[in-house]
Amino acid sequence: MKVCIIGSYAKALVMTADRIPVAGETLMGRDYRGEFGGKGSDMAVQSSRLGAEVSYIGVIGDDTFGKEFVDLMKDEKIDINGLRITKEKSTGTGFIIKDIEARNVIVVDSGANDLFSKEDIDNAEKLIEEADVVLAQLEIPLDTALYAMKVAKKYGKTTILNPAPAVNLKECDLSDVDILTPNETEARVAVGVPTDSELTNSEIAEMLFKTGCKKIIMTLGDKGSGIFEPGVARQVQPYKIEVVDSNGAGDCFNASLATALAAGKEIDESVLYANAVSALCCTKWETVPSYHTAAEVKEFMKKHGKKEIV
């Protein structure tokens, strides 16, 4: 199992409050802490803990936060030969407010992630060539993410694009994307309709297929996940758990999906696995501390039984 992450990293500065503040409001918070963040970093850690050989391509700043990231990657046994360290910009940083209902709001300064270029992909092309699955997300420039998908398809790799943070992809060529993995909100942003649109998920998926992507796996929160192919849709039932913290669950889902596919599992089985891993993630606080090992996931799935695909 070899997974290449087209990465992003941001130091997460986190605080808890009783509720999410509204505009112009000041609340007293507590439990300030600094955590590892960034969608690419999260995905790399979770995939590695599930047993994959993970390589990471990305850009960080030459600063304290960047050095902490390098140490994390080494601790998690992740190949960072594709990592560029720059003095031009600081390492990305995110501010997160969490409430006692397991909700959160996040603001991110991309920092050095904005400098991630096609040249960085070319310089680390060998890592893509050696991978089974290449996974990208959009905390880096869109052109760079799509270029990575193009390079990966040149070598016949399975490509996954997680379109988060959400952007309008309606005019983009996603023909090098095998699997697009939005949540329900991101899917609607991607096709340029209001997030409260009454269009069904199947109708949204059919609009997304016009971009050229081959399959869509849409995460549906406590309703599980939807698998969409042109003219065909099915739903994978969720694992019911008591949610402690949902932060990082989407990254967890994508990492486990990529890992399962790299292991040779079929798409339905891979989504079942990703549902289980992301549910288990929600039983603990934060991102990296909530990511479990393959053995823990296996025990969780055994305990909760196989879920239906309808």
DSSP 85: E
Helix, strand or coil for residue 116? coil
Is there a catalytic annotation at residue 251? yes
The DSSP output letter for 20 is P
Q: According to the model, what pLDDT value does residue 243 have?
A: 86
Residue in 63, 79, 178, 251 annotated catalytic: 251
Q: Which residues of 222-261 are buried (b: 16+ CB within 10 A; e: fewer)?
A: eebbbbbeeeebebbebbebebebbbbbbbbbbbbbbbbb
pLDDT score, position 106 = 84
Residuewise pLDDT in 10s, the chain (310 residues): 999 999 999 998 989 999 999 999 999 999 999 989 899 999 999 999 999 999 999 999 999 999 999 999 999 999 999 999 999 999 999 888 989 887 888 888 999 999 999 999 999 999 999 999 999 999 999 999 999 999 999 999 999 999 999 999 999 999 999 999 999 999 999 999 999 999 999 999 999 999 999 999 999 988 999 999 998 999 998 888 888 877 788 999 999 999 999 999 999 999 999 999 999 998 887 788 889 999 999 998 888 877 766 5
What does pTM read for this prediction? 0.92
Q: Report the C-alpha gap between 233 and 7 in whole angstroms.
A: 30
Helix axes 294-304, 267-281, angle to 10 degrees: 100
For the segment 135-172, what is each residue's pLDDT rounded down to a tens digit? 999 999 999 999 999 999 999 999 999 999 999 999 99
Amino acid at the residue 195: T
- Count of residues making up the chain: 310
Whole-number pLDDT of residue 222: 85
Query: Which residue is associated with the tokens 């998926």?
Result: 205
